Amino acid sequence: MVDHIDLTGRWEGVYFYPVDEELNPFDELAPTPFTAELADNAGMVEGRTLEPDLFSGADASPIPARLEGHHADGELTFTKFPEGGGQVHTIDYVGSISRDANSISGRWIIYGEWEGTFRMQRRVVASGVATRTTAEA
């Protein structure tokens, strides 16, 4: 069980659109990469995401979003509030946190419209590198 974890940090992920033609009228949309900066305060999570705007063309600015949620019992639940790209809806996410708390995978949903899957990986920085370098100098 994953208890007393801290999800604070930078995450890199990807979300996938549904394959079903009825749910995805745009044919096959490419998986969408995103980055997330999370702040975890005793299980209450907030942060920001940034992702490319796949619907507005190659020159479009990335879409920032704010997120708010929580985690408990190995599950992260949050709502993403896009702030651009013509998006006026919120997106809910529910994902399972890995035992080492460095990856999360699950589902996203825009109620009444779309749903798909996502996964994200914590960007881990080697903590011992600077210490070893200093000790060897």
Average pLDDT rounded to a whole number, residues 50-72: 89
pLDDT at 125: 64
pLDDT tens profile 109-134 = 998 888 999 999 999 765 554 433 34
Enumerate domains of the chain plus CATH numbers: 9-136 (2.40.128.120)
pLDDT level of residue 135 (50, 70, 90 thresholds): very low
- Contacts (Cβ under 8 Å, ≥6 apart) of 87: 63
Give pTM, 2 decimals: 0.81
Q: For 78, phi and psi rounded to 5 degrees?
A: -150, 160
Average pLDDT rounded to a whole number, residues 53-75: 90
CB 121 within 8 A of CB 105: no
pLDDT tens profile 9-55 = 999 999 998 876 555 555 567 899 999 999 999 999 999 999 998 77
